[in-house]
Chain A
């Protein structure tokens, strides 16, 4: 307990020092002159045509359909173009599709593909394979076959008409449930069943199961909508994408060198349809698993980019690199507290059904203090009360989804404003759930068996025992200890007793929870969800009562009904309004408790920000990015950001 308080104190001291430093150094940027100042900065720079960066976990394979997003998307984004791409402001513009249209309810999308393009190989040479509408159809055909083992298939499989039935039809045959249908016959009927068709050589049309006004953002975010040269991929079979020589490319770069776990070199594709706009000739990724090494290499001029974690930030902020520390910009991933509504702890389980108790928890968590563990300089920028991130989804008038009523009330709420609120809510819950002698109604003493994580006794009396389960990661242990301290302090130890347990198995989801199939060995745990494309359904559709991510097993029919309404809304704006109501209902009832964004850290770079595509949902694209011969400074960054913001608002 003492050590936790010390850490909190230390975090606050660092916070105040950081803020003082920021105030002292801050020179306000004049928005009126931002564009001219930015232009001056850009003109004063010398540029180079190579960029050296790094990766810290292995790129296990380049097969963009069958490899997890986290490991391959950064490379694929730069080597395989999609139908559309974001411009510098994040608006979708033509890429492999020259133009596109959709019907009124956004269920049919038709794209006109550029003519005369060809796939290139790992030497950059054109192959005999032309890039046509059929390649996009084939991409869906590839992922629609369970034998190809596509990852993260759920969203696309459920969205494209008929794909769900086609996939499970093949699977039924493969596992012997359907012995009457011939696999080859079903495969041959793909175009009759699945809603993706090549209307002609250069026109591809997607028919969707439900209205998807966000479809363009899904194209940016999902690798499963990328094209593939089917004949080539099928000829290679399982070898497709295992290294750079077993791939074809149609993006601004191709992978010219692939040393597994060591080096990946992207070289400019001279046959690219928009080659003039590709500013860098090579992008080189080195494997550097350790943050200290990358920082040292950056300082020695061997890398053009390095991330800077909090500890390193503190040691650099008074040295020669102090001016070059740039805060990371945004994260659409939200960390939240997930409450279990079906747990084996009778005390907690009785209380968690009560809204006042959940609100007590909601108000007991000091988000800024938790944020300070990751971002000691400006923890407030991490605070997030909503599940979907701010800055990710906008209605037709450009209003941020999180500012739509009634969700705006949640977004802008300050749950720490009234320190007594948590205890007040808890007293209200106790009045409803406890007898006067402090025993909990309907609960008797017993054993809570969350093994292999924890087994403990409860007495059926106040204080309510709450079991927080986390991983044994050092940062998460500190976070859990802080959670314990702040909840017990805000609500009172006489009312609540937080017990911490840490999973040491290394398989948290298998041992503790995280899946609707169980196990449920927790009362509360810390998790994250990310807004993956420009629609709230990406998260909100998954956490309905029957949703695949309702791992806490709550039952909120009002929320489900609002999500249903949103999904069947006639216009996108109406859809967002219903989703905003749904999310607000869930959060005002504190069925889950968002806390902070997953944003962390700083970086130093030679890259000039805001010169390349603004990728909100996908990974960094290097097309058009400028790399200077001198490292970017914070002052320059602020001017460039102000100019970019002004340009976007135009």
Chain B
């Protein structure tokens, strides 16, 4: 197992390095105009623009830039934002933004799991009855209706009905409710949908039929046998979900004015903020790969039948 883990870590590192290198080089192929704000494109002459780029180190050979970046990274210096937050240290930005996003993301994930699994259970327990229909209706609604519509409704109307703040404030816990609920809506549907599917699959297994024939109550069969087996494939996604809470949601963070990481990568790419893009890509690549890796380990842990190695 140790050997497997070491091999996976090594492979993950290689993947991260490749992803990072590709992104780093692609950024250097972007048009130079993208580094300038509109007012500079319109007003500044060519020489001024070149001076601006030179001072940012963007005219150096890409490999020189890569060497400088890696050297600084090993010294713990993540560099400074170029265009999105000019000269602000990226470490400062991440320290400011990640906790906000992660905090809301964590509670929404928890809500998503608890409510989603409960809904999934209810749908199976009352299969083909009103509980199942309601659950399916919810899932279809969340998946089919453009999210902006109901997210906007929640923000404007529900906040009015329950007298809740319209936007997020870090010192007003009541203002956290609607963003957390909004963030959780799709994951509730996701967990409910997949739990139902896996449980329906399990229900058709012989051991379930046997337990039912033996006379065990349906509730007990569902809880002790079906649920336990159905939850196993879902558990593989938990580490990814947990780690991805730092990535945030662009729409919800915009709606509720949450100063988090949602949309940060998109904005950085749009503004060709190389330093910020590089760090974020590196961070998200590590998080994604680590999530999958931990998911596999967790799967082997919760289900002893699953072996990750040949021996």
User: In the assembled complex, how far is the CB of residue B88 from the closest CB belonging to chain A, in whole angstroms?
Assistant: 5
B31 contacts the other chain (CB 8 A): yes
Which residues 46-73 of B have a CB within 8 angstroms of A?
46-48, 50-52, 54-56
**The one of A61, A153, A292, A507 that contacts B87, using a Cβ cutoff of 8 Å:** A61
Q: Is the CB of B166 within 8 A of A300?
A: yes
A184 at the interface (CB under 8 A from B): no
When distances are taken between beta carbons in the complex, the residues of chain B under 8 Å from A286 are 167, 257
B48 near A288 with CB under 8 A, answer no
Contact A238–B87 (Cβ < 8 Å): yes
Q: Which of A174, A175, A259, A509 lies in contact with B38, CB distance below 8 A?
A: A509
Q: A61-B86, A293-B155 are in contact. Are A514 and B55 (CB under 8 A)?
A: no
Q: Are A61 and B85 in contact (CB under 8 A)?
A: yes
* Contact between chains at B167 and A548 (CB < 8 Å): no
Which residues of A in the span 44-62 have a Cβ within 8 Å of any Cβ on B?
Answer: 58, 60-61
Contact with A along B67-102 (1 / 0, CB 8 A): 000000000000011001111110011001100000
Residue A149 CB within 8 A of the other chain: yes
B167 contact set on A, CB distance < 8 A:
286, 288, 293, 297
Do the beta carbons of B87 and A66 come within 8 Å of each other?
A: yes
| Any B CB within 8 A of the CB of A290 | yes
| CB-defined contacts of A419 to chain B, threshold 8 Å | none
A175–B54 alpha-carbon span in the complex (Å):
8
Contact A514 B42 (CB under 8 A): yes
Please tell me if the beta carbons of A548 and B87 are within 8 angstroms of each other in the complex: no
Judged by a CB distance under 8 angstroms, whether A147 is at the interface is yes
Interface string of A542-576 (1 = CB under 8 A from B): 10000011000000000000000000000000000
Q: Closest chain A residue to B255 by CB distance?
A: A290
- Given A286-B167, A509-B42, A168:B257 Cβ within 8 A: no
A284: shortest Cβ distance to chain B, in Å?
12
Q: A154, A287, A297: which contacts B43 (Cβ < 8 A)?
A: A154
Chain A residues with CB below 8 A from B9, complex form? none
Q: A260 contacts B257, CB within 8 Å?
A: no
Contact B80 A238 (CB under 8 A): yes
Given contacts A61-B85, A242-B89, A506-B270, contact A548 B255 (CB under 8 A): no
Q: Is A101 an interface residue (CB 8 A)?
A: no
Which of A67-75, A135-143, A304-312, A483-491 is found at the contact surface with chain B?
Answer: A67-75
Expressed in whole angstroms, the Cα–Cα distance for A243 and B96 within the complex equals 12
Residues on the B chain within 8 Å of A174, using CB = 51, 54-55
Q: Give the docked Cα–Cα distance between A214 and B54 (Å).
A: 33
**Of B51, B170, B259, the contact of A171 (CB 8 Å cutoff):** B51
Answer whether A293 and B255 are a contact pair too, CB < 8 Å, given A63-B86, A242-B89: yes
Give every chain A residue within 8 A of B254 (Cβ-Cβ). 289-290
Q: Please, which residues of chain B bring their CB within 8 A of the CB of A242?
A: 85, 87-89, 92
Q: Which residues of A contact B85 (CB under 8 A)?
A: 58, 60-61, 242, 260
Give the size of the chain A interface in residues (CB under 8 angstroms). 50
Q: Is B33 an interface residue (CB 8 A)?
A: yes
B18 CB-CB contact with A under 8 Å = no
**A633 at the B interface (CB under 8 A):** no
Bound form: Cα–Cα A152–B33 in Å: 16
Q: Is B86 within 8 A of A153, CB to CB?
A: no
A-side contacts of B52, CB under 8 Å: 146, 149
Of the residues A63, A151, A238, contact of B37 by C-beta under 8 Å: A151
- A510 touches B (CB below 8 Å): yes
Total number of B residues with any Cβ neighbor in A under 8 Å: 46
A475: CB under 8 A from chain B?
Answer: no
Give the distance in Å from the alpha carbon of A241 to the alpha carbon of B88 in the complex: 9
Q: B311 contacts the other chain (Cβ, under 8 Å)?
A: no
With the chains together, A472 CA to B92 CA distance in Å? Answer: 35
A242-B92, A517-B46 as given contacts; A507 in contact with B34, CB under 8 Å: yes
- Minimal beta-carbon separation of A149 from chain B (angstroms): 6
Interface 1/0s, chain A 227-271, versus B by CB < 8 A?
000000000001101110000000000000001111000000000
CA distance A506 to B266 in the complex (A): 13
Q: Is the CB of B89 within 8 A of A152?
A: no
Q: Does A414 sit within 8 A of B, measured CB to CB?
A: no
* A405 contacts partner chain B, Cβ-Cβ < 8 Å: no
Query: Which residue in A63, A149, A296 is a CB contact (below 8 Å) of B156?
Result: A296
Closest to A288 in B: B257
Which A residues, 480 to 515, have Cβ-Cβ distances below 8 Å to chain B? 506-507, 509-510, 514-515
Q: Identify A296's interface contact among B31, B33, B166, B258, CB under 8 A.
A: B166
CA separation between A290 and B148, bound complex, in Å? 13
Given A66-B87, A146-B55, A296-B166, residue A289 in contact with residue B257 (CB < 8 A):
yes
Decide if B174 is an interface residue (CB 8 Å cutoff). Answer: no
Residue interface bits B149-167, CB-to-A below 8 A is 1, else 0: 0001001100000000111
Asked if A192 lies at the interface with its beta carbon under 8 angstroms from chain B, I say no
Contacts of B48 in A (CB 8 A): 153-154
Q: Which of B51, B92, B254 has the most CB of A within 10 A?
A: B51
Given known pairs A149-B55, A288-B167, A297-B167, the reply for A259 and B40 (CB within 8 Å) is no
Interface string of B254-276 (1 = CB under 8 A from A): 11011100000000001000000
User: Which residues from chain A contact B206 at a C-beta distance below 8 Å?
Assistant: none
Q: Tell me the smallest distance from the CB of A614 to a CB of chain B, in Å.
A: 24
B165 (CB) vs chain A CBs: closest residue: A302
A296 contact set on B, CB distance < 8 A: 156, 166
A551–chain B nearest beta-carbon distance, Å: 8
Nearest-CB distance from B168 to chain A (Å)?
Answer: 8
CA distance in complex: A30, B24 (Å): 67
Any A CB within 8 A of the CB of B39: yes
Residues from chain B with a CB closer than 8 A to the CB of A153 are 44, 48
Please give the distance in Å from B300's CB to the nearest CB on chain A. Answer: 41
Q: Is the CB of A151 within 8 A of B88?
A: no
Q: Which residues of A contact B165 (CB under 8 A)?
A: 302
Determine the residue in chain A with the shortest Cβ distance to B260.
A261
Pick the residue among B34, B37, B97, B257 that contacts A510 (CB under 8 A): B34
Bound CA–CA A287/B93 (angstroms): 17
Q: Is the CB of A70 within 8 A of B34?
A: no
B45 in the interface (beta carbon within 8 A): yes
Q: How far is the CB of B94 from chain A (nearest CB, A)?
A: 12
- B140 contacts A by Cβ under 8 Å: no
Contact B39 A151 (CB under 8 A): yes
Task: Report chain A residues within 8 Å CB of B257.
Answer: 262, 286-289, 293
Distance in Å: Cβ of A506 to nearest Cβ of chain B: 6
Does residue B211 face the partner (Cβ distance < 8 Å to A)?
Answer: no
B270 CB contacts on chain A under 8 angstroms: 506
Those of A396-444 within 8 Å (CB) of chain B: none
Cα–Cα distance between A379 and B166 once the two chains are bound (Å): 33
Chain B residues in 8 Å Cβ range of A60? 81, 84-86, 88
Contact for B45 among A68, A154, A259, A262, CB less than 8 A: A154
List A contacts of B54 (CB < 8 A).
Answer: 174-175
Min CB distance B34 to A, Å, is 6
Q: Which residues of B contact A68 (CB under 8 A)?
A: 37, 39-40
User: Do A509 and B43 touch across chains, with their CB atoms under 8 A apart?
Assistant: no
Cα–Cα distance between A187 and B127 once the two chains are bound (Å): 81
Contact present for B38 and A261 (CB under 8 Å)? no
A506 and B270 alpha carbons, distance in the complex (Å): 8
B contact residues around A262 at 8 Å (CB): 170, 257-259
Q: Is B234 on the interface with A (CB-CB < 8 A)?
A: no
Q: Is B114 an interface residue (CB 8 A)?
A: no
Taken residue by residue from 128 to 168, chain A's Cβ proximity to chain B (1 for < 8 Å, 0 otherwise) reads as: 00000000000000000011010111100000000000001
Can you list 21 contacts pairing A with B, beta carbon distance less than 8 Å? Answer: A68-B39, A154-B45, A174-B54, A238-B80, A241-B87, A242-B85, A259-B170, A260-B93, A260-B96, A260-B97, A261-B97, A262-B170, A288-B167, A293-B156, A293-B167, A296-B166, A507-B34, A509-B41, A510-B31, A510-B34, A548-B45
17 further A-B pairs in the complex, CB-CB below 8 A; given A61-B85, A149-B52, A151-B39: A60-B84, A67-B86, A68-B39, A146-B51, A152-B43, A174-B54, A241-B87, A259-B96, A286-B167, A289-B257, A293-B255, A507-B34, A509-B33, A509-B38, A509-B42, A510-B41, A515-B42
- Give the top 9 A-B pairs by smallest Cβ distance, nearest first: A510-B33, A261-B259, A262-B259, A509-B41, A60-B85, A146-B51, A242-B88, A68-B37, A238-B87
